[in-house]
Amino acid sequence: MRELAAEIASMGRLRHQNLVQLHRWCRKHDELPVYDYVPNGSLDKILFDDTHQNIKQLTWVQGYKILLGVAEALLYLHEECNQMVLHRDVKPSNVLIDANLNAKLGDFGLARTYSHGIHPQTTHVVGTLGYLAPEITRTGKATSSSDVYGYGAFMLEITCRRRPIQPQRIGLTCAHPQPECRPTMRRVVEVLLGDPAFLRFLLISSMKLPGSSHE
Asked if residues 40 and 98 have their Cβ atoms less than 8 Å apart, the reply is yes
> Distance between CA atoms of 30 and 210, rounded to whole angstroms?
53
**Which amino acid is present at 31?**
E
Give the catalytic positions in this structure: 89
